[in-house]
Amino acid sequence: MRILGPLNPVLHLPARTVRGRLAALYACLFLVSGASVLAVIQVLIVGTARSLRVQPQQLIALAIVAVFSVVLGWFVAGRVLRPLRIITMTTKRISEDNLHQRLALPGPRDELKDLADTIDELLARLQAAFDAQRNFVANASHELRTPLTLARALLQMRLRDPNTTAEEFRCTSEEVLAAGEQQERLIESLLTLARSQRGLDHHEPFDLATLASDVADAHAAAAAARGLRVDVSVSPAPAYGDPYLAERLVSNLVENAINYNARHGHVEIVVQENDRAVLQVTNTGPLVPADDIDRLLQPFQRDTLDRTGGHDGLGLGLSIVAAIAKAHGAVLDVRPEGAGGMAVTVAFPSAHSSPNGSAGANPPATKPETEIVRPDDLQANTRHQRALTED
């Protein structure tokens, strides 16, 4: 004997929609209202509720009210949900190829209008993210192809020349090696940028002052070769995060300060603790328009100004700094100096404010909230630190 299973999978009952539930609710309200009106009229006609008797005419009227209530409830629910249907159909048509399209829902400012505006804002952010990704891929492809094209052209030029000497082959090989080193640095920078944008996988306490001092010592020879004066003023500043990425951030800032500087200029590196571990790198150099700051924080963006002491920057330095700062929940402030150059301030989370009050504890699932470091307070603390150093 075969036992039949449940009937629900076989019957395929219609799905319960929001419009159906709203229509049932409105129909019940209309039906109760109509029945109440009929009862009140009957009481007024008869004069007392005790002598009420249900007449066939009343049942017919109640049935008509019930049918009318269902139809009216279905119509009203459709009118209420019409903006939601417009939102649903328009959103289904939007893909990565037409992210520029918006709902632009007309009507009064209500919950559905707020929902449509929120979706439009989300689409705008998605469009900006997709555009940034496309630009990044295009720029990365161009930057990766340039060293390969250069190396291939150099080798082909020497191979096609039957009179090439061994010394010329040596010079060409050195140029090809230099192009390969540039490509290697580019790939390493891209990997660092991707790792920073993914977030932190490793957290531990570190001293920002020690990192800054080590980086300054490592770049002392490059600064001296350009005739730059490097002033380092550091005090213990325990921070919390990834020491490798933090060191890369400091190194990028110092490299930019040296490369994009004026002849016989200076670089100032200040580290102090001010509720956070604060790093400030200031350099002289050509004037940088304030409108270019946001652009320079994007990948593969180089300053178009004429700079002394040429260099082969990749255009990834400040974008890596911004990504590492964001991954640490740090505050990044980049502003041009009035006499030329830039001042970059990064405020890392302090190790004293690490989770559970312990510097070695695991970080929370959510990123720390971004705080604002006021430039006036930072400058005042910097002047105070200089006075202590001079004394």
Q: For 353-389, how does the pLDDT look when each residue is reduced to its tens digit (9 = 90+)? A: 655 444 333 443 333 333 334 344 444 444 444 444 4
> 192: which residues sit within 8 A by CB, 6+ positions away?
245, 248, 320
Q: How confident is the model at residue 57 (pLDDT cuts 50, 70, 90)?
A: confident
The answer, yes or no, to whether residue 207 has pLDDT greater than 50, is yes
Percentage of the chain lying above the pLDDT 70 cut:
79
Q: Position of tokens 């539930």?
A: 21
Please list the residue range(s) of the chain that carry CATH number 3.30.565.10. Answer: 204-302+312-361+368-390
314 pLDDT band (50/70/90 cuts)? Answer: low
Separation between Cα atoms, residue 359 and residue 205, nearest integer Å? 6
- Characterize the bridge pairing of strands 266-273 and 331-336: unpaired
How high is the pLDDT of residue 7?
44
Contact 284, 271 (CB under 8 A): no
pLDDT at 3: 47
> What class is the 134-198 domain?
mainly alpha
pLDDT at 320 over 80: yes
Q: Are 302 and 266 in contact (CB under 8 A)?
A: no
Is pLDDT of 109 > 80?
Answer: yes
Q: Around Cβ 208, how many Cβ atoms within 10 Å? A: 31
Any idea what the Cα angle at residue 173 is, between residues 172 and 177, rounded to 5°?
120
Q: What homologous superfamily does CATH list for 204-302+312-361+368-390? A: Histidine kinase-like ATPase, C-terminal domain (3.30.565.10)
Q: Average pLDDT of 231-260?
A: 92
Q: Which residue has the tokens 């520029």?
A: 100
pLDDT above 90 covers a percentage of the chain that reads: 21
The mean pLDDT value for 24-49 works out to 76
* Contacts (Cβ under 8 Å, ≥6 apart) of 259: 307, 309, 311, 313
Q: Give the model confidence (pLDDT) of 159-205 as tens digits.
A: 888 888 888 888 888 888 887 887 787 777 777 777 777 777 778 99
Minimum mean pLDDT among 42-56, 118-132, 332-346: which range? 42-56
Nearest to 378 by CA among 274, 232, 266, 256: 274
User: Which residues touch 162 (CB under 8 Å, ≥6 apart)?
Assistant: none
pLDDT for residue 234:
94
Higher-scoring residue by pLDDT: 48, 219 = 219
Report yes or no: 195 and 232 within 8 Å, Cβ to Cβ. no
- Over residues 85-104, mean pLDDT: 85
d(C-alpha 369, C-alpha 367), whole Å: 6
Average pLDDT over residues 86-114: 85
CATH 1.10.287.130 domain residues, the chain = 134-198
In this prediction, residue 253 has a pLDDT band, given cuts at 50, 70 and 90, of very high
User: In Å, what is the CA distance from 391 to each residue of 156, 236, 382, 385, 387?
Assistant: 63, 18, 14, 10, 6
Q: 């002491």: which residue's tokens?
A: 309
